[in-house]
Structure 1
Amino acid sequence: MDFNQQIIDTFRANGGEVNEPMRFGKALVLVHVPKKDGSERIAPLAAIPHDDAWHVVGSAGGSPKHPAWVYGLRRAEQVDIEVPGDPVETVSATVFELTGDERDSMWERFKAFSSGFAEYEKSAEGRVFPIFRLTI
């Protein structure tokens, strides 16, 4: 089974809590990202709830390239996301990419959330990680 599918299945089976194969707890959402061909890809993404929205970052594990889902979110005005709860709930969310100070402030929150995000900066070759607000 592929890694992302394992996370998706665990998320759905446990009310949005994922502790295996990685420890996310309830800090994860499943984003239904539209692809150019009209299909959808489900991306399990670390998320920070703030100001009645979920925030996700295109870190790609510190890769110098954006993950493919970033381009799908940039094209979308609205997406479905699955959020933790009993049961997991699918809701529609408006997509907004953060910029400037707002983006920088949220990036600091991601680094405080997990030291892994700060480590990603070292291998990203200067790439600025895009951050999206998904407002329900």
Structure 2
Amino acid sequence: MASFNDTVIEKFRANGGVVGAPWEGKTLVLLHTVGRRTGKQNINPLVAAPVGDDYVICGSQGGAPTDPQWIANLEAASGPATVELGTETVKADYTVVRAGDADWEQLYGAWRAYWPAAADYEQKTDRKFPVVRLHVQH
């Protein structure tokens, strides 16, 4: 999986945040996190659904049975996250929202509507995917 992500990251950076199929017309971000146990810098390319002035990313992990590590890394971190959006690297305040939280239905619904593959991911697991609301600081 790392080589797939590396290829997406390389295309993202070479093309000002535009990656193309299967993400044609969709906003992607590169989320930077620090491993809570390793201290290692990680970068994850993620589909980011615009919701007002914010973006919603989802810990779907393609329908895997467990949350991606970047969710736990965000929950363990303090302060804003670093996000590459288009040609900019910016700070973003964030909130991890889980099923049962007040905003989950609305935020997950917005991401699901934006990213059609979500329906396929849902078929692979009974897990409710956590979402993260990113508020980019300009």
Asked if TM exceeds 0.5, the reply is: yes
What is the TM-score of this pair, normalised by structure 1? 0.87
Structure 1 residue runs of 4 or more that deviate by more than 4 Å after TM superposition: none
**Structure 2 CA distance for aligned equivalents of residues 130 and 80 of structure 1:** 19
What is the TM-score of this pair, normalised by structure 2? 0.86
In structure 2, the partner of 1:89 is 88
SS at match of 1:94: strand
In structure 1, the partner of 2:60 is 59
Structure 1 portions without partners, runs of 5+ = none
**Structure 2 CA distance for aligned equivalents of residues 31 and 110 of structure 1:** 16
Note the aligned Cα RMSD (angstroms).
1.7
Structure 2 portions without partners, runs of 5+ = none
In structure 1, the partner of 2:25 is 25
Deviations 1:39-77 (A, max 9, x none): 210000010122322211000101111111111111123
Give the letter aligned to residue 97 of structure 2.
L
In structure 2, the partner of 1:80 is 82
> How many residues align structurally?
131
Give the letter aligned to residue 5 of structure 2.
N
